Amino acid sequence: MSSASESSAPLPMSIRARLSVMMFLQYFVWGAWFVTFGFYIFSNTGEEGAKIFREGFIGVAYGTAAIGGIIAPFIVGLIADRFFASERILAVLHLAGAGVLYYLSTLTDQKLIYAVLVLYFVCYMPTLALTNSLSFHHLTNPGRQFPGIRVFGTLGWIVAGWLVGKQVRLVDGALKFFGDVQAGTSIEPTSKPMVIAAAAQAILAVYCLILPHTPPKGRGTKVTIGDILGFEALRLLKRPSFAVFVLGSFLIAIPLQFYYNYTSAFLNAIDVEAAADKMTWGQISEVFFMLLMPLFFARLGVKYMLLVGMLCWAVRYGLFAYGFTPGVGPIMPMLYAGILLHGICYDFFFVTGQMYVDRVADPKIRGAAQGFIAFATLGVGSFIGANLSGVVQQFVTRDGVMDWRTFWLFPAAGAAAVMVLFALSFYDRSADEAPATHG
């Protein structure tokens, strides 16, 4: 298909609808349990709840997602891209993931929970790349059409948070949907969100079988480990600005994990009601700023977009640190502001970074460059950050009481330090002036 026909051919509504539902379910599954999982661990740590976990396990547990992220390229590159249709391997991975997640909800042994978490994310993380590649395969104009498909994923995450946070209650040991929100107790500190997510993932597994057929694109081709991890893009590191960008992205990914791992536990610990529901305002903010990205990009350029994103991470953690005072309670405007900053934090850093790589990389290695950045940030950086957050939790906990202010000041200082380093070191005017030529 020529580029001209790609830009003009309409996307059949049946394909648009099926891809949109796929994205909705894909991120509903993740959002239904991943947000509240930290609070579940927190509520059963030490002398609390079922006394399943030791202090610091939140960070260790969330680090398993990064392990899945590191392994995912091998599954996609060595298996999915070469031997099986995307929709079929998606169905298999989601069905296996549903079973593993339900099994996880029944466990009470920390070591076994950790092992099963790793297994789950080995099943789930490859599906993130596969749903994207499947979508791109069928879109006639990905640049214009993909955002409209991908936004349904964000909507799925929002609906999951609203459902778990406000519309499902535990009444006499059973789940009650859409009833009196004051009846029974919240399911956030329990394993029930995992049960809901497992059921949704089983539905998604079956649904994948009616997705448009997507044959393996790499059948018959030779693939190396370097190709899978994007090592071909290492020659871009000879460009000082790109080397600084990679280092800054890797470093900022470390303090970022504090938010993803501990915000639910923090909000629930300071008695914020329906915390999972309130956290969905971050995704609503993400959609809003995503729509404004072209305007900001044209006015600010790459460097200042990235700097604003890093600054907002530091500000967000500062708002969390001082948005609660023991004996006084939460200061909700500050906490809401910290949550709403998610749109800038995510879009101005992650999305801008992807756009920067797209502009500076030669078309032949553009995919490898994106894979290398994902490996450095979502893989290695996230793994270090997740485990470090658990170490900091142990450091700030005395006699079973966690000092949340000191906890949040650690990533605030880390994000601010990376921002200063990046501001002094990064300069690439060419990336602001013209995108790389697309092949």
- Say what the pLDDT of residue 181 is: 59
Tokens for 206, please give them. 């079956």
- Say what the pLDDT of residue 215 is: 84
As a whole number of Å, the end-to-end CA separation of the chain is 13
d(CA 321, CA 335): 9
Strands 174-177 and 168-171: antiparallel
d(CA 152, CA 250): 28
- Say what the pLDDT of residue 437 is: 37
Domain at 1-223: CATH code: 1.20.1250.20
Domain at 227-439: CATH code: 1.20.1250.20
d(CA 95, CA 72): 17
- Say what the pLDDT of residue 171 is: 79
CB 101 within 8 Å of CB 198: yes
Neighbours of 14 (CB within 10 A): 9
Q: Which residues of the chain have pLDDT under 70?
A: 1-8, 47-50, 76-82, 143, 179-183, 217-233, 363-364, 366-368, 429-439
Q: What is the pLDDT of residues 211-240, one digit of tens each?
A: 999 887 656 566 666 665 556 667 788 888
Reduce the DSSP state of residue 175 to 3 states and report it. Answer: strand
Quick one: which H or E segment has residue 12? none
> Which residues, other chains included, contact 358 with Cβ-Cβ below 8 Å and sequence gap of 6+?
366, 370, 435, 436
Strand partners, 402: 397
- Output the DSSP codes for 31-87: HHHHHHHHHHHHTTBTTSTT--B-TTHHHHHHHHHHHHHHHHHHHIIIIITTTS-HH
Q: What is the pLDDT of residues 109-127, one digit of tens each?
A: 999 999 999 999 999 988 8
Residue ranges of alpha helices (H) inside 323-365 are 332-340, 342-346, 352-360
Reduce the DSSP state of residue 408 to 3 states and report it. Answer: helix
- If phi over 0 gives left and psi between -120 and 50 gives alpha, with beta otherwise, what is residue 230? left
CB 343 within 8 Å of CB 285: yes
Sequence-ordered strand ranges (E) for 258-371: 324-325, 329-330
- Say what the pLDDT of residue 1 is: 38
d(CA 381, CA 251): 7
- Say what the pLDDT of residue 108 is: 92
* CATH 1.20.1250.20, the chain: domain bounds: 1-223, 227-439
CB 349 within 8 Å of CB 313: yes
- Say what the pLDDT of residue 167 is: 81
